[in-house]
Each structure stands twice: as structure tokens, then as C-alpha cells.
Chains A and B, each alone.
Chain A
């Protein structure tokens, strides 16, 4: 039996295989330095994108948001991430679009929201059309049609941590009516 101890934590430690949202901080030679909220920035090679070759470089600027997964993450080495899965396809990873809002939550909330039996995401989806990306490092990127809707969604997700299921249903029903 393997036990997973869930704890309340905001500080992220890179783990191999985790999908995270990172912010590009520097471009140096062949790699990008990406801040993922850990103790060191992760490195991302420009070839680690779908369809990237030495001549065909991906369009990534400093300050862009990247959704990728770690291939190397241990305490002895600098973490490395890629935006491509083991078969060479992007499958949702890569540069995240220009608009939308990025905000930070605790790691426990992310795990709760990504659990297979979590209804919060489905309820949120019924409210407005939206695009959302969860990073296991506590970062969530959300985009809705208008700024106000995006702000409402961001605040709901942050508050989900502190609300009981009943309070949450109340808020959703109130929003759905208005």
C-alpha cells in the first residue's frame, strides 16, 4: 500500500512528470530559463516543442507563459522541462495564449481541483465558457469572454479552498441566476 499524505503547502518542489505553468525569464543560446516557483529556474530547450527544428524555432518571448512537464527533477540537478510528450506530440503543452489571468493558489487546492471526482470544475464550466490551465506548482491560468467573468472565476477558485460544498453550491446558483 502506497499512501499519499496531503498537506497544506504553498511552496512547490519540482517533481518529475508534473505538469506546471512556468514564466520565461531568459533566453540564452539554445535554452529558455523558466521560473516555476521552485528554488531554481528550470531549463527548457527550444527543440522541446512540437514541430520545432534547428531552423524552425518556436515563437517564445521573455515573459510568456509555458505549460510543460518535468523530465528531470531531483534535488541534485537543475530541473529540466519539455513541452512535448514521449511520442513527440504537444498534447496541450506549449505557450499559453496572450490574454487571461494567472494567479497563485495553494498546492492542496490544485490537487483537489484536478481530482477525477471533483465537481467544482464541471460546475464552473456550466457558468461561462472558459479556458483554464492548472499547473501543479500552484498556478492557474484562466480566460473567459470578459474581464469581469475572468475575475469572478479567479475569485471563486481561490475561495473554493475555504468554502464548504453547500456554500459553494449557493454561490454558483446565485451566479447562474444573475
Chain B
């Protein structure tokens, strides 16, 4: 299906709201949405939710022959898929541009930064190495896929346990999980992508854009960093010109955000480790139980209501006193808006739809009149 078009009204509203530093869900300019990490029963399986954007990550491994020019290193393979349930615009044939862009960014972030020690994945040099495969599936698209995907990838890799292997001379013994506990991967650092969206030719910036904000943005800057403040990847798309101090400022913000996210990841991994050790129940069935469709829950949106008083005073000051306010005239002619609410129309058989509209118009007028009356 084609994407729902963005109306001029929404675009204008979003840009005006950004100029006033307001976001649709009440966040501040540098705030991330709520991040939730849950693990499955298998090692290496996790779901990361960034607001409503959801990514499922699964890590698996296999013994293969190494590449010819890298005989002592293991192989890493990353794959991000945009599932059709994520957005109506994602169809099997139609996603190529976005897909290629996201996959390349993910590869650069995770492979080129050498966050995984590939030498430790070697079993027999030149003959057998581990091939680690990370599959990411986007389950729901509400903006900022790349951040959610990078968090899911690194969390899944940290969570994963590969089977233990021992080499004696020429013999290679692969132990099953029952014989010997599986071994975690050797991870040097955790690179995490942070996205910055730019509006109005670089004048305004937002961290973690959601889907609406992504539609009206001019350009996107993605910085992948780890908690030691080392930049692993930086990419600017959209063709806007960024100043040096803007990029530096973004990297400082990214540093702070990456620290917070890394702490969250460590806590989540620690919790899961504890639960597994104590023999408690773990897996998706436990962590997603509270989201049954009958349990209607919505996260609290931090809408700022504090300013409203000042605005109300402004409105009172600016409102002119109405000259003659006829409080509840009832116009019994059909097809005109009734002033005053909830009055039964005496023209019996009107169509339901017309009656609905009249009521809507009626209540609008009544509301405006009421408020002017209150102010005077």
C-alpha cells in the first residue's frame, strides 16, 4: 500500500510546534522515549521497544570455514528486515532504499567498530570458525528504526551464549548445552546509535524523532558511540549543511544519552541473569503478559500544562465584550446551526447524519459563546 500522505495542516502544525520547542507527546528536545528491553527463553533473543517502535533481535551461530583472507577470524553477519506488519508502506518489493541504508549503517556501526572480538571466534585456524548471525526484525515502525535496531543488536549479542568447544590436537569437541554451559561472546564495547533530526535547514534539532517528526524533517544525523565516548560511526543524510559546532554539540548529547542507555542495558541483562540463575520464569511469556489486549494501558505522556494560566489571562485580556449576547436562541429552521446545545429538533425525520452535524456545529458555537461569557 502507499504510505498515508502527510497533509499540509499536519506539516505546518509540526513545524510550528517545533519552533516553540513542543513535541507531540510532550517530550523535551533532547528526550528519548521509554526504552523497554525484554528477553526470550533462548539466549540471544530479545525485543527492544523504543516508544512504540519495536525490534526483535535473534543471534545464532554455526561452525563454518573461514574466509580465505581472514583465516583466523570468525564471521559476523547482520541482517535487518522490515516486516510488513511494521507499516503499511513496507511491501516485499518496495523497501529497498530504506532497507539498504539501515543495513549499511548497522554494519558500519557494529562490524567496523570491532565491538566483537572475532579472533576469539576462531576454533581451528583456517578450517573452522564460528559464524555469528544477527537477525533483526522490525515489528512496528513509529520512527527512529536505527536506534532501536542498534540497541537490539548489541543487547542480543551480549545476551547470547555460544556452545563451548575444546580442541585437543586435531580433535575438535563441540559440547552441547547440557554437557557444558554455553559461553558468552567476547564483546569489547557497546556501540549505540543516536539519531538527531534537523528542521528548518538546521535551525532546530530533535533527538529520537518519532514517525510524524521524521516525515517533516530536513535531515538526519546518526552518531554511533560507546560509553567511553568513542565515536564508532557518524552519518549525515538529507543533504543539509551542518556547522562544526552543531555536530560537536550533537556528539556531546550523544555521549550523555549513550551512557544512560548503556546503564539501562546492563540493568536489563543483570535482571535476566539473576532470574535465570534463581530458576525463576523467564522469557517473553512472562515479560509481555501485562500487554494483553484486554488490559488497556497507555503510557503517561508528559504534556506541559503549566503555562495554561498565563494563556488564559491573555485570552481574557484580548477578548472583546460581546455587544448583545442572546443566550439561548432556538432556531427551528432546518439546515442552520442551532445555538445552544442539546435542543431537540422539531423537524422529526431528519437523517441521522445531518442531525449529528447540526449537534456538532451547535456545540462549537455554544462553547465559544460560553467562554466569552465567562471571561466578561
Interface of A with B (CB < 8 Å)? 8, 17-19, 23, 25, 35, 37, 39, 61, 63-65, 69, 85-87, 89, 91-93, 96-102, 114, 116, 121-122, 125-126, 128-134, 141, 145-152, 154-155, 158-159, 161-162, 174-175, 178
Contact = CB atoms under 8 A, between A and B. Distances in A.
B335 A87 contact: yes
B8 A61 contact: yes
Interface in B117-163: none
Q: Interface of chain A, helix or strand or loop or mixed?
A: mixed
A145 B368 CA distance: 11
A141 B26 contact: no
B12 to A, nearest CB: 7
25 contacts: A8-B293, A17-B351, A18-B353, A23-B4, A63-B6, A64-B8, A65-B9, A69-B353, A91-B354, A99-B9, A99-B12, A100-B13, A101-B13, A114-B356, A125-B370, A126-B367, A126-B370, A131-B364, A134-B360, A147-B16, A151-B22, A152-B305, A162-B298, A175-B305, A175-B308
B304 interface: yes
Contacts of A145: 311, 315
Best-surrounded residue of A25, A114, A151 (most CB of chain B within 10 A): A151
A23 B7 CA distance: 6
Contact of A98 (B9, B298, B306): B9
B357 A19 contact: yes
B366 interface: yes
Q: Interface of chain B, helix or strand or loop or mixed?
A: helix
Contacts of A125: 363, 366-367, 370
A152 B301 CA distance: 10
Nearest first, the 10 A-B pairs at minimum CB distance are A125-B367, A63-B8, A162-B298, A23-B7, A162-B296, A129-B371, A92-B357, A101-B13, A25-B5, A147-B17
B296 A155 contact: no
B357 A151 contact: no
Nearest to B318: A145
Interface of B: 1, 4-13, 16-17, 20, 22, 24-26, 293, 296-298, 301, 303-309, 311, 315, 335, 341, 351, 353-354, 356-361, 363-364, 366-368, 370-371
A91 B335 contact: yes
A63 B296 contact: no
A153 to B, nearest CB: 10
Contacts, number: 125
B10 A102 contact: yes
A164 B145 CA distance: 33
A178 B368 contact: no
Given A125-B366, A162-B298, A92 B361 contact: yes
Nearest to B361: A92
A65 to B, nearest CB: 5
Contacts of A92: 357, 360-361
Contacts of B26: 151, 155
Best-surrounded residue of B297, B305, B311 (most CB of chain A within 10 A): B305
A92 to B, nearest CB: 5
Contact of A178 (B16, B308, B351, B360): B308
B200 to A, nearest CB: 16
B311 A148 contact: yes
A6 B166 CA distance: 62
B13 A132 contact: no
A167 B97 CA distance: 45
Given A149-B308, A151-B24, 19 more contacts: A89-B335, A91-B335, A92-B360, A92-B361, A98-B12, A102-B10, A121-B363, A125-B370, A147-B16, A147-B20, A148-B22, A148-B308, A148-B311, A151-B22, A151-B303, A161-B298, A162-B298, A175-B305, A178-B308
Contacts of A85: 354
A93 B361 CA distance: 11
Contacts of B297: 162
Contacts of B341: 122
B106 to A, nearest CB: 30
B9 A19 contact: no
Nearest to A36: B4
A134 B341 CA distance: 18
Best-surrounded residue of A99, A121, A147 (most CB of chain B within 10 A): A147
Nearest to A114: B356
